[in-house]
Structure 1
Amino acid sequence: MKGTARCHSVLSLSPGSGAVEVTVTVDSSLVQSGVGWNTTLSVANGSDLFSVVWLDPRGNNILTRINGVLVIKPGTQYEGRVELQANNSLTIRSTEPRDEGNYTVTMEAPASLDLTPNSKVLRLEVYVPVTNVSVALSASDVVEGNAELRLTCSALTGSNVTYTWRKGASVLSNSSRVTVSGSEVRIQPVNRNDADSYTCTVHNVISTSSHSQRLTVYYGPESAAIQRDFESDCVVPDQFLMGRSGRLSCNGVSVPAGVYKWFHKGQNIQNGSSIPFNSTRLKHGGNYTCTILNTKTNKEITASTQIIIVDYCLSVGAVVGIAIGAAAGLLLLILLIIFLVQRKRAQKNKAVNKPPLKTTFNQSEAKVLPWMNEYPEIRRGISPTPIYSADHMSVYSIYPPSTGSMVASTADGEFRLSSSRTTRSGKLSTLV
């Protein structure tokens, strides 16, 4: 009782009468801490002190130091958990949620300093750290076309938490099919583009924790096709050379990967996505069918192909050679036609430029052979003028000579009597 009375008498008598307060500084008026942490409400003073008093959020005394004597109030939740630091800051060990609230510190200087007391209020917030975050799916097998899928985020511990969702590397936000609401994401309906890694981050002011969940959306099979790879380049479709190696491969779009089966002429011959052929035989020809089954969607599709095994075929290389030869022959033919056309055109141009031949005969231009002067009976200038032989026994021509020289051709061997002469008809050749 004496100690308590003394404390009250000191508190009532110690304030000075001056207008200047005791200097008290605070690092932050808001202190945020976690459950189980050691938390310090930091203050400092710039004056000599007579007393320091800390009150809890309910206004009850936690501890007092008067003239260097520290008294911690017994019987409170702070007993054994608090201490006063050298700078008069209050430290609370193993902070509990019930410790949260506004704490008041009051400092008084000795009366001799003539300073008035000064009080400061510091707020303590106590949070439960976030631990063990997880993401759960509303369905274990998610098939494209499902009406709804929910992703739910939870944490084992954590108070005053907020949630952030990411799809892959991007923040997930609301869209026509996706609704983000706190700890839950709802997708309506589901399609293959929703497949990705979804990350939920739970955080409060003192802690952060995340967890990722891979979402797989099952769909297919679809777009089935068979690829044929053989050591043969037959130009005729579906033909492949006998004795060569090859492979038939079946492909389809499916998540998960489909189950493949092969049928040849209606008989199941092999499972798996491909059929190898080490050496093709005639018996390998025929129709091949591939089926693809998705065990999650329970859908199945098929694809078929026809192969014909032959011992001889026209290869692509041969066809290319024939095409090249035909093209070369056509080119040569075109060049020949061009050459003949140009040659004919040149001959025509030469004929056009040649001086025209005379088509009329001028008797004054006629040349009389020297021996003709010996025969006055030859009446030159009168057409026709007969031309006789040297013995006057034969008539070679009754036509006038040309401007060139004339020679007698072989007589035709016929003789006729005319008046008193024998006439031999013959032919004359004109040399120009």
Structure 2
Amino acid sequence: MRLSTYFLPTLKETPAEAQIASHRLMLRAGMVRQSASGIYTWLPLGLRVLKNIERIVREEQNAAGAQELLMPTIQSADLWRESGRYDAYGKEMLRITDRHEREMLYGPTNEELITQIFRDNVRSYREMPKILYQIQWKFRDEVRPRFGVMRGREFLMKDCYSFAMDYEGAKKAYEVMFNAYLKTFKRMGLTAIPMAADSGAIGGSLSHEFHILAETGESGVFYDVAYDELAAKDEIDLETLSKLYAVTDEKHDSSAANCPPAERLKEARGIEVGHIFYLGTKYSKAMNAVVPGPGGETVLAEMGCYGIGVSRLMGAIIEAYHDDRGIKWPEAVAPFKVGLINLKAGDATCDKTCEDIYRSLSENGVEVLYDDRDDRAGVKFADMDLIGLPWQLVAGPKGLAVGVVELKNRLSGEKVELSVEAALARLTA
């Protein structure tokens, strides 16, 4: 993609309404624009990151055995009356009446609808267990939306639901999703701390929140250093993990039986990006979601639900990876891998070298944002640091005169001078 034609409306000044780093940088880097309170348009650069986050979430859900479907954003109020939540949910639910005076709602979550889908279509224990998920937009009418996409009213969420014949089957699905979450966040370059949590409006008993560590995180977290040791493992046993201490600051109790001694207790800042629940039969009982067992008996499905804030994750990643110049994207979610900077557009050697580099990287599957604008070098460097691509490849007259280009790693700040061939080899490795 050529920056001269790319829609990237960057800002030099920070908008007054932006209170946290991710909101400031997403606006300044031309990733989003607010269209109404807590509702955002995703511009091309921001959408590329959002799609990369969505792709990783989807790949790990599929690898865990979950199957993707897509439910509507608009739901019938009658379904929510079946579960007893229509009147209880509160003003966060956007209630709608259609032209036939039927009561509808813009879904803040999907327990009722997925339970209906299961109830109406699964006929035998032979079809069990099932794990179904979607990545879909939600709406919750927050009284004070703030912090950009971190606490907006419209947001993209991955919500997943498991159905089993008994508690052991439900617990197995819970453990599968638990580990899928750890793998998902790890692939994005994030350190995730799972901690026992309240179930809130969703309901259920067994519950964990996943907080990713960031210096500017919204919550204080306290956790056993053993979490760092477990993080290197591919699979974590839930029984072992449940014995470890991990809480947010409002629940911290140094006298708790499982609170480790001071030398093993770590304190950090965190941002909640995922929440999983064992629901039991809360919804299957209310909505009569039963499955005929092997002896003909009817069994209430044991359910679990598992959410990841996909759009919220984008803000959380920026909170974890930024400096005073801009964003520093982990390569797995970056909108482009390389920012190619032509220091002197119009110079024959610079133009030809950059065109050759751009073509070579593109042909090798490397996503490149080529700054071919006729602008000052300082402007180009500032914009590239602001949008935070993992690599910057700089070609200028002085370097090319001696056969080198400069390769900069945005995360570490390391710069090296290499031949064009060596730079290409490193970026395509």
Question: Which TM-score bucket, shorter chain as reference?
Answer: under 0.3
TM-score by length of 2: 0.21
Of structures 1 and 2, the one with the larger relative CO (CA 8 A, separation 6+) is: 2
Name whichever structure is richer in strand by fraction.
Answer: 1
Name whichever structure is richer in helix by fraction.
Answer: 2
Greater Cα radius of gyration, structure 1 or 2? 1
